Amino acid sequence: MFILSGCLICCAFAQRITVTIQAGSARPSEGRGSAGRPISPDIFGIFFEDLNYAADGGLYAEMVQNRSFEYSSLDHPGWHAFTGWEMVKRGGAKGSYFIGDANPLHPNNPRYLETDCDAGGEGSAVGISNSGFDGMVLKKGEEYNFTVFARQQPGRSISLEIRLESKDGALRGRAEIPQLTSEWKKYSATILADKDDENGRLILLARGRGIVYLDMISLFPQKTFRNRPNGLRADLAQAIADLKPRFIRFPGGCLVHGDGLKNLYRWKDTIGPVEHRREQKNIWRYHQTLGLGYFEYFQFCEDIGAKPLPVVAAGVSCQNTDRYWGVGQQAIAMEEMPAYVQEVLDVVEWANGPAATEWGARRAEAGHPEPFNLQYLGVGNEDAQTPAFRERFKIIYNAVKAKYPDLTVIGTVGPNPEGPDYDNGWKFADELRLEMVDEHCYKPPHWFWANLDRFDAYDRSRSKVYLGEYAAHDVRRQTTLRSALAEAAYMTSLERNGDMVRMSSYAPLLGKLGHTQWNPDLIYFTNTTVNPTINYYVQQMFNLNAGDFYLPVAVDSLEKADNFALSPVRDSKSGDIIVKLVNGGPDSRSLRIELVGVENIATNAVKTILSGDPLTVNDAGNPQPLVPEISTIAVGPVFDYESPPHSLTVIRIKSQTP
């Protein structure tokens, strides 16, 4: 009874909100907040960082862990060159194992495995086993590309058997490499899996007597995304592609400026044959093979129609370097800066230069003679605004702009949307008249609701904004509908300010369950599953429905505290009017929507809605609690809509502008 009367009272006082959209408007109108404005074509993109096993063990489809014996305790306490591997001796064979470095494949790849085999008898073999990143997923009827660099002690006769096995030793597929030579040579084999197995392993068995040397032991599914060699895990890459991002920022985040100067992400170490790439520790306390390097990132961008946005370090390391020891930000010595600046300039030549240029030739060699059309370059990530940072940023910035005036160089204004680095970063951006700066914002959901007018107040004559990292952090850093709706509300403000906020990306993108250093993430995954969060669907709903013009709108009887946000936009290509409505409150909202200045409004529109209990949580036990529902809705020049509690609705209306 009480509940019923409560409901009646609520309905009796529910006020209808009238939303009047100047749907025929094509030009910016005067005033703030609800004025019409163009929206940047690159407004929504993604932020990729090799964090949470996003690259190795994640998007990068390599199945072998520690394929080149380069793991060490610098990566992670207790790790060593043989981490990920186990010794195997069969049929009474004897053998001993060493990590060699006297005659490496390449100076960048110093270590390899030496196995002294005594496996001459019938059925005897000495070898190694690798179970990948939490077990290898084998699919019945699918082929796997195996490669290895190997050599043997001169004058011996050693052959290899390559086996895919289940955890308990059942054979799933095999191949043979008949006779090794005494010089490093790359051997390849294709192995067909004859059964499904989620916990498979790769076994290399040597037969014969003498020493065998092994390096770069690799296994890839043939079915990578777009079947690219050295490619990406197809299902994860597809989930990213389905977001339809306008750009991809890579390779981070903190990974870019690294844990000390020796750990900066150096793009030249990430291109060329994988066995020549210089692996290094990952600032997130694991290891980077760099098999997913600049070429692979650029190619992925191209494959999914996203613009590349590489970020390079601004000549300084992360201010959290060896925080425990109080080391902090380190700066490249001034005498080494010319070489570093050249390295930054070279990336632009590598991406955009003709194949006849030095670095363009390297791109062409990798199979991409056409330029990648790089338009954006980030310099720095959340750096502390010290004199050392400023001095180096300026040198890099001036050199890049002098050589590539059309490239948009994005600066950085610290880790928070306020505070000394933010203030000083903006002052510095004003001084240099930067085109764009990268702001970061991790805050609780209520912060986003309280700051919907933040960008309305930004001075349009200053640098434009790339909101490069943001996420609403709910309690226990879980992803909830509440956090997703806070982000959705904020995204309506990004659209409204799409002339000023040119780019934005939720962060971070990927988190492998069991290996997360950072939560929340947009997509969680295991070796066999891909679980987009509720927040993912919010991003997708905006991406699929981003317009290019924010329409002037007047709204009556709505208070800021009502936790209601909206964004009417037009997509000029299709002529569609798209209305996004975010109701973060516990009551439904009655809306009367008036579309002024357009003709031939279709009678039906497509409605996409995401709604539910605001505390609905995405977690391992509840991997896909909510997905958007699509239906049709009757519309016209004036129509009513009841926006459900805790919901995001996108209404896409066909019309003609006179």
The answer to whether the beta carbons of residues 282 and 348 sit under 8 Å apart is no
Give yes or no for residue 415 binding ligand AHR (CB under 6 A). yes
Please give the residues from 129 up to 188 whose contact with ligand AHR meets the rule CB under 6 A: none
Of 247-255, 423-431, 593-601, 637-645, the segment contacting ligand AHR by CB under 6 A is: 247-255
Is residue 90 within 8 Å of residue 96, measured between CB atoms? Answer: no
Stretch that binds ligand AHR, among 87-95, 188-196, 249-257, 566-574 (CB under 6 A): 249-257
**Least distance to ligand AHR, CB of residue 396, Å:** 18
CA distance linking residue 318 with residue 382, whole number of Å: 8
Partners of 285 in the β-ladder = none
Give Cα 314 distance to the centre of its chain: 21
d(CA 519, CA 617): 13
Q: Indicate the residue among 49 and 75 with the shorter CB distance to ligand AHR.
A: 49
Q: Which is nearer to ligand AHR, 274 or 437 (CB)?
A: 437
Which residue sits closest to ligand AHR, CB atoms considered?
Answer: 253
Q: Smallest Cα–Cα separation from 332: which of 341, 323, 321, 324? A: 341
Positions of E strands within 473-563: 479-480, 501-506, 510-512, 523-525, 530-532, 549-550, 553-555
- Which DSSP state fits 103? S
Q: How many residues bind ligand AHR (CB under 6 A)?
A: 12
Residue 254 binds to ligand AHR (criterion: CB under 6 A) = yes
Residue 584 identity: G
Alpha-carbon dihedral 456, 462, 463, 468, rounded to 10 degrees: -30
Stretch that binds ligand AHR, among 36-44, 199-207, 236-244, 248-256 (CB under 6 A): 248-256
Give the C-alpha separation, 152 to 134, whole Å: 31
Q: Are 269 and 278 in contact (CB under 8 A)?
A: yes
Q: Which of 19, 35, 49, 498 forms a contact with ligand AHR (CB under 6 A)?
A: 49
Q: Check binding of 380 to ligand AHR (CB under 6 A).
A: no
57: contact with ligand AHR by CB under 6 A = no
* Shortest CB 416 distance to ligand AHR, Å: 9
Establish if 245 lies at the interface with ligand AHR (CB under 6 A): no
Least distance CB 415 / ligand AHR (angstroms): 5
Would you state the structure tokens that stand for residue 349, as one six-digit string? Answer: 């030549």
476 contacts: CB under 8 Å, gap ≥ 6 = none
CB of 149 or CB of 524, closer to ligand AHR: 524
Residue 382 near ligand AHR by CB under 6 A: yes
The minimum distance between CB 477 and ligand AHR, in angstroms, equals 12
Question: Which residue type, as a one-letter code, is found at position 74?
Answer: L
Judged by CB, which is closer to ligand AHR: 257, or 362?
Answer: 257
> Which positions from 301 through 340 interact with ligand AHR, judged by CB under 6 A?
none
253 lies in the binding site for ligand AHR (CB under 6 A): yes
Q: Which is nearer to ligand AHR, 95 or 253 (CB)?
A: 253
DSSP string, 622-636: BS-----EEEEEE--
**Closer to ligand AHR by Cβ: residue 259 or 382:** 382
**395 is written with which tokens?**
């040198």
Q: Which range binds ligand AHR by CB under 6 A, 201-209, 250-258, 355-363, 422-430?
A: 250-258
Alpha helices in 175-279 (DSSP H): 234-241, 254-257
Binding mask 510-549 for ligand AHR (x = CB under 6 A): --------x-------------------------------
- Among the listed residues 382, 439, 469, 495, the single catalytic one is 382
Distance CA 43, CA 500 (A): 10
Cβ neighbours for 493, distance < 8 A, ≥ 6 positions apart: 451, 452, 453, 454, 455, 456, 565, 567
At its nearest, how many Å lie between ligand AHR and the CB of residue 518?
Answer: 5
Nearer to ligand AHR by Cβ, of 54 and 81: the residue is: 54
By the rule CB under 6 A, 56 interacts with ligand AHR: no
Nearest to ligand AHR of 49, 165 (CB atom): 49
Q: Shortest approach of ligand AHR to residue 318 CB, angstroms? A: 9
- Minimum CB separation of residue 283 from ligand AHR in Å reads 8
| Closer residue to ligand AHR, CB minimum distance, 413 or 581 | 413
Q: What residues from 470 to 509 belong to the interface with ligand AHR (CB under 6 A)?
A: 507-508
Nearest CB to ligand AHR, comparing residues 441 and 491: 441
Please report how close the Cβ of residue 75 comes to ligand AHR at its closest, in angstroms. 17
Shortest distance, position 252 Cβ to ligand AHR, whole Å = 5
Catalytic-residue membership of 382: yes
Give the interface segment with ligand AHR, choosing from 129-137, 246-254, 530-538, 542-550 (CB under 6 A). Answer: 246-254
Q: What element of type H or E holds 136?
A: strand 136-138
Contact status: 299 vs ligand AHR (CB under 6 A): no
* CB-CB contact of 153 with 98 (8 Å): no
381 binds ligand AHR (CB under 6 A): yes
What whole-number distance in Å separates Cα of residue 204 and Cα of residue 119? Answer: 13
What is the smallest separation between the CB atom of 120 and ligand AHR, expressed in angstroms?
A: 53
Instruction: Output the CA angle 218-221-223, nearest 5 degrees.
Output: 145
DSSP 351-413: HHS-TTSHHHHHHHHTT--S-----EEEE-SS----HHHHHHHHHHHHHHHHH-TTSEEEEE-
Structure tokens at 231: 């490619």
By beta-carbon proximity to ligand AHR, the closer residue of 51 and 491 is 51
Segment near ligand AHR (CB under 6 A); pick from 117-125, 126-134, 251-259, 273-281: 251-259
CA angle 168, 171, 175 (to 5 degrees): 140
Residues designated as active site: 382
Using CB under 6 A, list all residues that contact ligand AHR: 49, 51, 252-254, 381-382, 415, 469, 507-508, 518
